[in-house]
Chains A and B, each alone.
Chain A
């Protein structure tokens, strides 16, 4: 399994041709208390960079973008009743959805953990 990161602070853990997607700890901290999450339903398709989900704090709603293109195989429905999970465990139980990758080559443009760490330090 490999983990990749985007400049928009999404992460994707890839296992075979399925990736689990969420927002990073850095993003969750920047948002503050998450009060609502809208995740995509199984069957939905996205291109890389498309609006895929919405995460809302007290202050504002933010779009979450698909780190790669593909078809959603599952959304994390548990977030509907427990949006705070995104703050508590953003890179674990706070996952948003699972995507069947349409083109694994799209992962090449993403960052690894070290590169993402440096990227955040530069913000």
Chain B
């Protein structure tokens, strides 16, 4: 009971309960794990449009102190944030977003995050950043400490962060945000309607086309959520299906598929480090990370295809000829592919699709093989 009392609620808590959501603790919030069931919700999202409340996450804005809206505002704020991430932030076009990782001094991954350059005139020097809910307090503290006196971070997790995902998402969202139709993958619009301000980006965590919206927790914001949910193409989707959808899409879950003990190369996220940053070697842990690029990491994140019907869950040991060679970090059942799927880390020499391995499920060796990710091809609008 004590745990329940300290759980936070998102602005949509009552809406979840009204829709029959089964509520569970997640990242310090009381969140819906499912509504009608993980499998039907998963399949609905791939066929139509699913609405996800991700207000537990950490949206925020980062402002350049003195110099917002000036010609070199973006270059200055980008240079500041690039002290903490290995991606090319300076090269972002207005309204463009990019996945990156927050690194510690050893090159370990403190979080993954989406960094977007604000679109529109007068907003150069302002970034929109979304970090993970479970680690948002420490992420924000690190950014504030590192950039103290030079940039100001404004939390936006008192608002609603909503994802609308699936092939019918665009047709649904344009009634509320016509500008969404013009966005391509990882592009963002800043929408002002009277006093109200909204962020709409073409992004998500399902492998489907879709959008993420930052909405005010007021009548205007709730009216949009209510209208989206009353659309017959849309159903509310819980965290259970969010997890199975992202696993099929081969996307990492922080704290499971990567953490501070892993660098981006082991996590197979080397693509977030653009060439210009590799050449400059000016990010935290650059020596370790560039070394891992040059000589290969000891272990690498891979897709894992169990060859029998038993799912292999997180923590399942991976063996080869009886020897421990890795660990499953996410695993379960993929409703769209209709078979068990997993990802995890294996010794780099085994990180080749087709390599036979054993998954130690409840003490029994179950055959599996290393495979490419994702398990379902993404449906992004490029």
Contacts and interface: CB of A to CB of B under 8 A. Distances in A.
A11 to B, nearest CB: 22
B219 interface: no
Interface stretch (A18-26, A51-59, A68-76, A91-99): A51-59
A61 to B, nearest CB: 6
A83 interface: yes
Interface string B242-261: 01100000000000000000
B313 A36 contact: no
A35 B240 CA distance: 14
Interface residues of B, number: 20
Interface string A70-105: 000000000011010000000000000000000000
Given A33-B39, A35-B340, A58 B240 contact: yes
Interface in B300-336: 309-311, 313, 332-333, 335
B37 A35 contact: no
Nearest to A32: B37
A33 B38 contact: yes
B148 to A, nearest CB: 42
Interface in B330-361: 332-333, 335, 340
Contacts of B46: none
B42 to A, nearest CB: 7
Query: Of residues A35, A56, A61, which shows the largest number of chain B Cβ atoms within 10 Å of its Cβ?
Result: A35
Contacts of A81: 309
Interface in A5-42: 32-33, 35-36, 38
A58 B362 contact: no
A35 B33 contact: no
Contact of B311 (A32, A56, A80): A56
B174 to A, nearest CB: 31
B341 to A, nearest CB: 11
A32 B309 contact: no
Given A32-B34, A35-B340, A36-B333, A83 B309 contact: yes
A52 to B, nearest CB: 12
B330 to A, nearest CB: 12
B309 A80 contact: yes
A85 to B, nearest CB: 13
A56 B34 contact: no
B44 to A, nearest CB: 13
Nearest to B240: A59
B74 to A, nearest CB: 43
Contact of A61 (B42, B311, B335): B311
Contacts of A36: 309-311, 333, 340
A61 B244 contact: no
B45 to A, nearest CB: 13
A32 B362 contact: no
Contacts of B39: 32-33, 58
Contacts of B340: 35-36
Interface string B232-245: 00000000110110
B38 A58 contact: yes
Interface of A: 32-33, 35-36, 38, 54, 56-61, 80-81, 83
30 contacts: A32-B34, A32-B37, A32-B38, A32-B39, A33-B38, A33-B39, A33-B40, A35-B311, A35-B333, A36-B309, A36-B310, A36-B311, A38-B310, A56-B310, A57-B38, A57-B333, A58-B38, A58-B42, A58-B240, A58-B244, A58-B332, A58-B333, A59-B34, A59-B240, A59-B244, A59-B332, A60-B313, A61-B311, A61-B313, A80-B309
The 3 closest A-B pairs by CB, nearest first: A33-B39, A58-B38, A35-B333
